[in-house]
Structure 1
């Protein structure tokens, strides 16, 4: 188990087999357990169960023990031509039995109005349930944008609700950053809502600290946890043109690094092998930064930087290699040097430079999920529902291309993996595949 995963388990008190936040242990995208995972599945093979969801959304499922949690929204914004009345907008937190998909409970949260309208280029793509829940193994926490952060116990009893802002991002694309737990603090990236990262007491919802910056209005990524100087724990997040390290105990900015030249940050950074890796931006790039430090570390901590870029996909780093997907292409980099190891079309085929895009456009045809890894295999789900399975090696070794349903559904959520099971979420159903 990597140092990053050990750190994450230490600060969240979750079991190693859990997938308790966006992209699993510390946002790495890598399952902490060594259970065997399936290579192939279909509507009639290795599909353990499917359950209908009461509403849409792009948030990812999380797994805590024998329970699966996911959020949805309903009442407004389900159809671009007839979005309905914002007064009817509701969010839902749902809990399912991981063994059979049976719904155990549902909690409904009315929207705090006015909300960003279901119009333009942003909100209709992801809707109003974009933030993945997080759990510390005892409670589950959700962030619903302008409706605030809420805590529930595992039986569905609401513990508290705290507002963190009601503003909107400059582009009015809505918000998507997911909350994380660090020791006794729930960390909420309320970029569009409050131009801030907010630390809340996870027991009471009381604000402990607030790190404010106008640049957070263009941040949609989820932070990670890294070791800082001495016994300090840092919260690290990508921001326009920079990467920031924030003291998890005080909310004070510990260090910053000039990074990717992009006016927004849609993906999330990852931590592996002592470094922080980021790839993002319409006109951005890629970077590896040594974790820790104090003040401006731009001249001392940059390991490498490059021109690799994608719009939404967060990379996965494994055994010295970094993998990311963009415009139907998988790229593998040397995590130590940033040099390209291979590039291939998903499903096979050579890549022409002229065909390489910047992470897909917005709206129809774009892919928003990120790769995850378990049992030496990488899994990547396209919006169409096709799941590409490949060996995590230094050459492109495709293993399978699977489809869990033949129905017209959109898969924008990143899968969750726990104890050999893979949980897939579409705009209509939650699926569990496993052997």
Structure 2
């Protein structure tokens, strides 16, 4: 036994580290819709890729999964309670389940249930329930490390459809959006949940449905978030409010901003897409509009930047645009309104109505589909959860079902 001990240690150590193609947070490793996976199918066979596994009766909800260290993490709803569950990445077998909070109230059209995607950081998992309960859990067991309540503890104010953001981890800080006058944006110590700073941006600024992103402008780091009153930037070190852009704000502000160098792309389903250039000088910063184009009205399905071209979906079509100028290069009905991600040089486009997934070769010239997957036994709910590609698997959430398809190339 003693002679085998070093080998056992090596095996355990390898199993405990994140793989290069994990998907540890909302919209992937860099929060931009890109998977780091390679060696994937560039064209799908006619029936679509093979099903690796499906997990049923996991509980309802609109959250997307995260994948880390051989486990799949997902937030889900049972009755009026919300939970985080962990599944084995290769088999879909449930490993543990832990309560995280309650279902937040919906006003108007009813879409109750969990929306946020859990964020993995090392051995810890950060989950936000739709009622505003923020919990830090151990990835191996679901044991709770700490908890905060954004609405009660920080006088949070949220929109008609409850809390929906996926919290951001940046170094030792956790960035979240309670909304309201006291702590519109909030930085917590990720290890104990204690406040580092509060950013009281405005009384009328409530939390909407986007998630914060990092923007580095020269030597200055900012956090950018889409609130009810528009897109805002705050200083990362202090939470100081820096700038606001209102023109893309609408009834429901959902799309997580696209961040690249000193530029931000923001969009609303009824307002259009805008490119902003952020100029920073000392402790001040301003946002300058480069363009606003109503044809680029990406929203719940997000947008991705491939080189100099932006791909996204409106409420009825997939589009490609020149990122620098906002010129619409082409638009195609494809699968209508859809959610989008990128992996190994291909777009994965999941229709909200049909649930069908298109594999698309990105081109500035025209729409180039390279395969179609028709999900069996579709629910009647909108397929709003974004597709996720990690470690050769395509993960699709459809309310109480999570499916994993094999999209890795195999040797002939």
TM-score, with structure 2 as normaliser: 0.84
Aligned to 1:181: 169
Looking at structure 2, the residues matched to 227 and 307 of structure 1 have their Cα atoms a distance apart, in angstroms, of 27
Answer yes or no: is 1:93 the counterpart of 2:84: yes
Answer yes or no: is 1:111 the counterpart of 2:102: yes
Output aligned runs, 1:309-348, within 5 Å: 309-346=297-334
Change beyond 3 A, Cα 1:67–1:242: same
Deviation at residue 263 of structure 1 after TM alignment? 5.5
Query: Deviating runs (4+, > 6 A) in structure 1?
Result: 41-44, 192-195
Answer yes or no: is 1:236 the counterpart of 2:224: yes
Greater mean alpha carbon deviation, residues 289-298 or residues 332-341: 289-298
Looking at structure 1, the residues matched to 19 and 186 of structure 2 have their Cα atoms a distance apart, in angstroms, of 26
**Is contact 1:260–1:287 with CA below 8 Å preserved after alignment?**
yes
Looking at structure 1, the residues matched to 47 and 75 of structure 2 have their Cα atoms a distance apart, in angstroms, of 24
Looking at structure 1, the residues matched to 210 and 273 of structure 2 have their Cα atoms a distance apart, in angstroms, of 15
Output aligned runs, 1:259-298, within 5 Å: 259-260=247-248, 262=250, 264-272=252-260, 274-282=262-270, 284-291=271-278, 293-294=280-281, 295=284, 297-298=286-287
Where do 5+ consecutive residues of structure 1 fail to align?
Answer: 1-12, 76-88, 348-359, 361-366
Deviation at residue 137 of structure 1 after TM alignment? 2.5
Aligned to 2:134: 149
Where do 5+ consecutive residues of structure 2 fail to align?
Answer: 1-16
Deviation at residue 249 of structure 1 after TM alignment? 2.4
Deviation at residue 42 of structure 1 after TM alignment? 8.8
**Is contact 1:199–1:208 with CA below 8 Å preserved after alignment?**
yes
Greater mean alpha carbon deviation, residues 43-52 or residues 217-226: 43-52
Greater mean alpha carbon deviation, residues 376-385 or residues 28-37: 28-37
- The counterpart of 2:363, out of the listed 379, 393, 400, is 393
Greater mean alpha carbon deviation, residues 182-191 or residues 29-38: 29-38
Answer yes or no: is 1:136 the counterpart of 2:121: yes
Looking at structure 2, the residues matched to 193 and 424 of structure 1 have their Cα atoms a distance apart, in angstroms, of 37
**Is contact 2:81–2:99 with CA below 8 Å preserved after alignment?**
yes
SS in structure 1 at match of 2:339: coil
Deviation at residue 147 of structure 1 after TM alignment? 4.5
Deviation at residue 194 of structure 1 after TM alignment? 7.1
- The counterpart of 1:52, out of the listed 29, 53, 56, is 56
Aligned to 2:144: 158
Aligned to 1:371: 340
Aligned to 2:377: 406
Deviation at residue 14 of structure 1 after TM alignment? 6.6
- The counterpart of 1:40, out of the listed 37, 40, 44, is 44
